[in-house]
A and B are shown apart, each in its own frame.
Chain A
Amino acid sequence: MSPDEDRGGAGPGRRLVITARLENLEGVRRWMTEVLESLRFPHQQVFEINVAMAEALTNVIRHAYGGPSDQQIIIEASWTDDRITISIQDFGQKFDPAQHGTPDLDRPAEGGYGMFLMRRFMDEVTYDLSPPVGTIVRLLKRRV
């Protein structure tokens, strides 16, 4: 992992570059927790943001890159007084959120909760498909 690279004079924020491997999830969580605690996000919100991050990164590794690989994922966190925005950029297959519907919560399933939890735990989840290659997922959370 390559933490806190120069963000080119942008506003307050931090940047982390990882390879697309599931064993990096733990390190991302530690990094994200440190950022969120420094911004005084409450414990429950730190947990919820970390869940959304884990789901987004797992989707990238499994679907955009088709499994673990040495390809890059760029994570950028930026914030204002009352909110944090986290962008997760990959360079793999484009992700179409429209193909992933809401799970039937009356029927327990072994999969399908990931995007649902992202939307439940974040205030906004958007997918930017405009880059020539890959996708940027943006997660926004307002501090309570």
Chain B
Amino acid sequence: MQIDERREGQIVILAPHGAWDAATAPAFKERANTLVAAGSIRFAIDFSHVEFIDSSALGSLVSLYKKVKPTLNGDVRLFALAPDVHVIFKETRLDRVFQIVPTLEEAIRSFPT
């Protein structure tokens, strides 16, 4: 799974490409774990290149959220979700856990300064 990575200040922007399923979710989890271990706690996940997700993707995102939110005061934002992908977050009510916004700019602005 290709995962592009860049930074805006203290925010890490990760852009997975293609299908985010049981075959590829471990790669995302490993990359996120490495970044958290190196001190990153603010993440914006770019869904503009994500073509498909299933519960494995949700699991890898919740894993990241649980690592950074409760104890490190970090957070995870999601942006540029296709309507079908957004439905999964609504059905599982994870749209109440993750702040989901349309654009990168809004994701960056949503973090406290």
- The reply to whether A111 and B55 form a contact with Cβ atoms under 8 Å apart is yes
List chain A residues, Cβ under 8 A from B85: 47
- Which of the candidate stretches B6-14, B41-49, B59-67, B105-113 sits at the interface with the other chain? B59-67
Q: Which residue of B lies closest to A62 (CB)?
A: B22
List chain A residues, Cβ under 8 A from B87: 44, 47-48
Q: Which residue of B lies closest to A45 (CB)?
A: B84
- CB B66 to nearest CB in A, in angstroms, measures 7
List chain B residues, Cβ under 8 A from A61: 22
Count: A-B pairs, CB below 8 Å: 74
- CB B70 to nearest CB in A, in angstroms, measures 11
Provide 10 A-B residue pairs closer than 8 Å at the C-beta atoms, listed in order of the A residue: A43-B84, A51-B54, A58-B21, A58-B56, A105-B92, A106-B93, A108-B66, A113-B59, A114-B54, A117-B88
Cα–Cα, bound, A34→B88 (Å): 22
Tell me if A37 is interfacial: C-beta within 8 Å of chain B: no
List chain B residues, Cβ under 8 A from A25: 19, 21-23
Q: How many residues of A contact B (CB 8 A)?
A: 29
Chain A 32-73 interface mask (CB, 8 Å, partner B; 1/0): 000000000001100110110011001001100000000000
List chain A residues, Cβ under 8 A from B66: 108, 110
- The reply to whether B92 and A116 form a contact with Cβ atoms under 8 Å apart is yes
Chain B 1-39 interface mask (CB, 8 Å, partner A; 1/0): 000000000000000000101110000000000000000
List chain A residues, Cβ under 8 A from B84: 43-44, 47-48
Tell me if B72 is interfacial: C-beta within 8 Å of chain A: no
9 shortest interchain CB distances as A-B pairs = A22-B23, A47-B84, A113-B55, A105-B93, A54-B54, A58-B22, A114-B55, A110-B59, A108-B97
